[in-house]
Structure 1
Amino acid sequence: MNFFESPVTLLAGVILLSYVLGSIPFGLLLTAASGQGDIRQIGSGNIGATNVLRTGNKKLAAATLLLDGLKGALAVAIAWVMTPPELGDRAASLAAVFAVLGHCFPVWLGFRGGKGVATGLGVVLAMSPLTGLATCAIWLAGAKITRISSAGALLAFACMPVMLFFLHGHSFSQSAKPLAGVLVALIIFVRHRANIARLLTGTEPRIGQSSQ
């Protein structure tokens, strides 16, 4: 077997590529290119779409959301393409986890990235379209009802691994997707720990309000 065709090498390549793709800080790049300055100096200091929205530029926030989601979906899609069928499921699952890790902890920004929601939605849509659509619907509904973006996101990603479990089986030998879903959800919950504390005290800003 050629070294570059070995399963370990292929999966290592998936991990590296997915992390690099996930770590592209579109929110930071777009706000800087549009003359909005450094998004890390605005609102919560986060590089994601919710904080970009605090610049008042809805189109820029929408572009950030879309691109952050697309980079996650692309990482999973490339993993499917670059690995043989017998490795596809595990490769896609690894890609999902490491794309979200790259977004949340990019080495280029001192491991201080976004909170993973858009990229998480992108990887889940690519990994399991039905689960991804349901996760998006729960996020939007939760955010609309509560008027709190983080509440909708946390509800959606709490439900997401459960949906993967029922759709793709509970055994790792059947699919690695449910485990990937748990890990993605855990990363997103860790990145939202400050939001969770504010939700518990009733001080989390609503959509359109400024953030500390």
Structure 2
Amino acid sequence: MADHNMLTNLILLVASYAMGSLSSAIIVARLANLGDLRSQGSGNPGATNILRLGGKRLAAIVLLSDVLKGFLPVWLAYRLEVNSYVIAGSGLFAFWGHLYPVFFEFRGGKGVATGLGVLLGLSWPLALVGLTAWLLVFWRWRISSLSALSAAICIFLSSWILLSSPAIREAAIIMVLFSLWRHRSNVRRLLSGQENHLSRSD
């Protein structure tokens, strides 16, 4: 029985990573004959970059797809009734797949929308905190990266209040740390006053 459970957990984690590795922006851009997003605009394969290059409809498709590929592995993990660490791990592996997609030379996006999808599955109140922070900051300053960084900080702080499960809290904090790291170039531009409005983030 233990071997069966271990195999189920392993398959779930691998499948979560594979789903996360399906880079929505790269796929949609290629289908729309926009070329490789990683060599255009901000160079980031995310919804903001495809909004800039392909318009609102394509950006909406990418955004929804990225959220779903974060949410579905967590939803499936709950359905399979695995333990909390495997549930949290399924979300993390989907998130890592987006950042480092095996199908696209491990060059992925920054994980904002996919991270939101993971949090929707793990803890919708925490996802709501992050989304609210993102929307408020974006409404005020119209800078996508600043919105993402603000959301990440709010998620980090709120995770200690809203989450009782150590596994889910640890997963949320790990995603925040990876998100901050992936936005390091944005931080440099923000500090130097060179970051653009509607800027280089997912």
TM over 0.5: yes
Could you tell me how far 1:210 is from its partner in structure 2? 8.3
Aligned to 1:95: 90
Q: Deviations over 1:23-78 (max 9, x none)?
A: 10110111111222222222011111011111141110111011001100001111
Aligned to 1:130: 125
Could you tell me how far 1:162 is from its partner in structure 2? 2.3
The question of whether the paired residues in 2 share the 8 Å contact of 1:96 and 1:184 is answered with: no
Aligned to 1:201: 192
Establish whether residue 180 from structure 1 lines up as the match of residue 171 from structure 2: yes
Establish whether residue 192 from structure 1 lines up as the match of residue 187 from structure 2: no
The question of whether the paired residues in 1 share the 8 Å contact of 2:44 and 2:108 is answered with: yes
Which consecutive unaligned segments of at least 5 residues does structure 1 have?
A: none
Aligned to 2:61: 63
Could you tell me how far 1:80 is from its partner in structure 2? 1.1
The question of whether the paired residues in 2 share the 8 Å contact of 1:14 and 1:94 is answered with: no
Distance 2:111 2:65 in 1: 12
Which consecutive unaligned segments of at least 5 residues does structure 2 have?
A: none
What is the identity, as a one-letter code, of the residue corresponding to 1:65?
L
Query: Greater RCO between the two (CA within 8 Å, min separation 6)?
Result: 2
Aligned to 2:3: 3
Aligned to 1:167: 162
Distance 2:69 2:18 in 1: 10
Q: Deviations over 1:135-163 (max 9, x none)?
A: 11111111121211000011101111322
What is the identity, as a one-letter code, of the residue corresponding to 2:123?
S
144, 153, 159: which one aligns with 1:158: 153
The question of whether the paired residues in 2 share the 8 Å contact of 1:54 and 1:210 is answered with: no
Q: Output aligned runs, 1:43-122, within 5 Å.
A: 43-84=41-82, 87=83, 89-122=84-117
Q: CA RMSD in A?
A: 1.7
Moved beyond 4 Å, runs of 4+: none
The question of whether the paired residues in 1 share the 8 Å contact of 2:129 and 2:154 is answered with: no
The question of whether the paired residues in 1 share the 8 Å contact of 2:48 and 2:200 is answered with: no
Distance 2:180 2:125 in 1: 22
TM-score, L = length of structure 1: 0.89
Distance 1:15 1:189 in 2: 23
The question of whether the paired residues in 1 share the 8 Å contact of 2:71 and 2:117 is answered with: yes
How many aligned residue pairs are there?
201
